[in-house]
C-alpha cells in the first residue's frame, strides 16, 4: 500500500480516497439500530416446553414409584420386626425337618402377605412368609392372637417340598 497526496493506492491499481473510505465505514456503523420485530420474543415456556413436559412427566412417575417402594419397604420392615415373624423364622431355622428339606440357612423372601394389627396389649397376626434354602423353597403360615401382651399361636406351620403335609412348628 502506498499513500500518495491524500489518496490511498492499493496494490491492484485501485485508488480510493480516504474520504471515500470514511463514508463506507460510516454507513456500516450507522447510529440507527435495525428495526425491531413487531412480535415480542417467545417466553420461557414457548422455548423450552419440548424438554420440560417430558422432564416433568418423568419426575412425577419417579416420585410415584419411589413412594410405592417406600411404602412397600416400610410395611415389610414393620412385619419383619414383629414378634410373630421373629418366632416363626427362629422355629423354622431350628426345625430338623425344614433344614433337611430346604438346607441351611433358611431365609425369608421379600413378598410376605397377611396383616398384623396390635392395640395396646392385644392384637392379631395372620401372615404367610415365603422361605427358601439352598435345596428349595417353602412357606410359613402364622396365625396368632395377642392377649395381655403375650402371643398365642393358633397356627405355626411350614409347607416344604418332599413333605406330604404341613410341618407343625408350635411348641
Enumerate the domain spans of the chain. Answer: 81-168
Per-residue model confidence (pLDDT) at position 12: 47
The angle formed by the CA atoms of residues 164, 167 and 171, to the nearest 5 degrees, is 155
pLDDT at residue 61 tops 90: yes
Q: Please tell me whether the overall predicted TM-score, pTM, comes out greater than 0.85 for this model.
A: no
For the segment 93-106, what is each residue's pLDDT rounded down to a tens digit?
999 999 989 988 99
Q: Which of 14-18, 47-51, 56-60, 122-126 has the lowest mean pLDDT?
A: 14-18
Query: Residue 128 and residue 69: Cα distance in Å, rounded?
Result: 20
Q: What is the CATH number of domain 81-168?
A: 3.10.450
3-state secondary structure of 44: helix
Helix (H) or strand (E) holding 127: strand 122-133
Amino acid at each position: 500500500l502506498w499513500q500518495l497526496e491524500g489518496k490511498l493506492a492499493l496494490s491492484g491499481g485501485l485508488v480510493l480516497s480516504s474520504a471515500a473510505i470514511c463514508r463506507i465505514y460510516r454507513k456500516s456503523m450507522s447510529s440507527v439500530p435495525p428495526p425491531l420485530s413487531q412480535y415480542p420474543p417467545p417466553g420461557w415456556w414457548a422455548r423450552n416446553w419440548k424438554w420440560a413436559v417430558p422432564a416433568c412427566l418423568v419426575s412425577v412417575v419417579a416420585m410415584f414409584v419411589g413412594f410405592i417402594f417406600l411404602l412397600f419397604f416400610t410395611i415389610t420392615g414393620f412385619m419383619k420386626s414383629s414378634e410373630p415373624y421373629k418366632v416363626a423364622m427362629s422355629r423354622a431355622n431350628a426345625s430338623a425337618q425344614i433344614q433337611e428339606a430346604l438346607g441351611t440357612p433358611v431365609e425369608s423372601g421379600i413378598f410376605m402377605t397377611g396383616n398384623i394389627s396390635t392395640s395396646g396389649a392385644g392384637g392379631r397376626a395372620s401372615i404367610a412368609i415365603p422361605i427358601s434354602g439352598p435345596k428349595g423353597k417353602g412357606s410359613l403360615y402364622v396365625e396368632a392372637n395377642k392377649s395381655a401382651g403375650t402371643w398365642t399361636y393358633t397356627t405355626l406351620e411350614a409347607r416344604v417340598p418332599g413333605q406330604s403335609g404341613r410341618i407343625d412348628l408350635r411348641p
